[in-house]
Copies of this chain bind each other. A is one copy, B any other.
Amino acid sequence: MKPTHIEHIGIAVKNLDEAVKYYQDVMGLTCYNIEEVADQKVRTAFFKVGETKVELLESTAPDGPVAKFIDKKGEGVHHIAFAVKGIEQSLEHAEKHGVKLIDQKPRKGAEGLDIAFLHPKSTFGVLTELCEDKGE
């Protein structure tokens, strides 16, 4: 596996509008997109900082994964996404090294990227996303 950069940092927040205001007014970033991802039960807001995005995540349901995360750990960094070349091979490589995969195969994520998650129990506590922009 050879990650090229940090594609994004996913941050779980209770109130998206307040968090967007903070990242704009205090941190000086510009929110360029807000979208709802129904199957993940989240509303997301995107900012760009260098080659990395900050992705704020607000749960749209009390039983959604982001709501559960906040119940357990509080607001904060939810996952880190590494951009890779060859996501299928990267998953195979991780599995061969004993990493538990959440996604056995890549699926479509936000912004049309191919994405897959590695389980935080195998990755020293960091919910790790691999993603690849195949430009399709």
Q: Which residues of A contact B (CB under 8 A)?
A: 1-6, 9, 11-14, 18-19, 22, 25-29, 49-52, 73-77, 80, 82-83, 93-94, 97, 99, 120, 123-126
Contacts and interface: CB of A to CB of B under 8 A. Distances in A.
Contacts of A29: 3
B3 A27 contact: yes
B50 A124 contact: no
B49 A124 contact: no
Nearest to A5: B50
A interface SS class: mixed
A5 B75 contact: no
A116 B52 CA distance: 21
B50 A97 contact: no
A97 B19 contact: no
A12 B76 CA distance: 14
Given A3-B49, A27-B3, A19 B82 contact: no
